[in-house]
Amino acid sequence: MKWFSDRFIAIVLSIMAVESAAAQAAIPLVDIKSVDPTIVVELRYSGPNNLAGRALYSRGTPALVRPEVASRLVRAQAFLGRYLYRLKIWDAYRPKSVQAQLWQVARNNDYVADPETGAGSMHTWGVAVDATLTDARNHFVRMPTDFDELTPAAMLHYQGSDPITRSHLTLLQKAMGRSGFYGLHTEWWHFIISNWKKYVPAIEAKQVPDELQQNDRLFSRNSAQITTP
């Protein structure tokens, strides 16, 4: 009887794994630039300036997300425009094969999700983006860290003392929070659509870390001063 029970469980898990793979393969995605051409796209994994130190995407790879994510990014961009800033996307949908390469580079790093554990990275479901700011002319603005700088300085809640950097981060968080995104406390640039569970199979959603389950909902209530250029 125990053999039958173990065998049955193994079959069920195998079926769920196949269904999960099928669900990911069928993800409907849209190109962010086709929805709002004013959003700046600079996919860091298309070049060497990232955690892996090499290009993981082919040149010209578009920034893809779920249609609902794209519409919320449009709202964030409109909000930022009031202050003469723009949204810049560093990463969007990330194929599971690319997530596996990142895991190989940093498998002992708590910041990188194992693609074979639970839901893996929210990027692989098309429900997360890595984003920063530029000014209205697409010029660099000061932020806490660069992309993929996985250090305490990259925390969601700014640890530094520069008022301009703090202002920029606050503005980004307000724009994303009011548009229906949550943040990740270890990466100020990482944003997840608030209803991500709608797009992730239930069995895998249950295995998502508590930190993401609870998430941070303080963006829209952040009252720090915003400085415009």
Distance, in Å, from the CA atom of 36 to the CA atom of 54, rounded to the nearest integer, reads 28
13 in a domain, yes or no? no
174 in a domain, yes or no? yes
Which pLDDT belongs to residue 5?
A: 53
List of residues 6+ apart from 180 with CB closer than 8 A: 72, 75, 193, 194, 195
15 in a domain, yes or no? no
Distance, in Å, from the CA atom of 35 to the CA atom of 50, rounded to the nearest integer, reads 26
193 in a domain, yes or no? yes
Domain of residue 90, residue span: 28-221
18 in a domain, yes or no? no
pLDDT tens string for the chain (229 positions)?
A: 555 455 544 444 443 444 444 455 467 999 999 999 999 999 999 999 998 999 999 999 999 999 999 999 999 999 999 999 999 999 999 998 998 888 887 665 656 665 556 456 889 999 999 999 999 999 999 999 999 998 899 998 888 999 999 999 999 999 999 999 999 888 999 999 999 988 887 766 655 655 554 454 444 444 344 444 4
1 in a domain, yes or no? no
Structure tokens at 143: 């932020």
In degrees rounded to 5, what are phi and psi of residue 72? -75, -30
Which pLDDT belongs to residue 75?
A: 98
Verdict on whether the full-model pTM lies above 0.75: yes
* CATH number reported for the structural domain that contains residue 158 in this entry: 3.30.1380.10
Q: How many separate domains does the chain show? A: 1
Which pLDDT belongs to residue 184?
A: 87
140 in a domain, yes or no? yes
Which pLDDT belongs to residue 92?
A: 98
145 in a domain, yes or no? yes
Which pLDDT belongs to residue 203?
A: 60
- The half-sphere exposure of 207 on its side-chain side, counting CA atoms within 13 A, is 14
Fill in the amino acid letter for 71: S
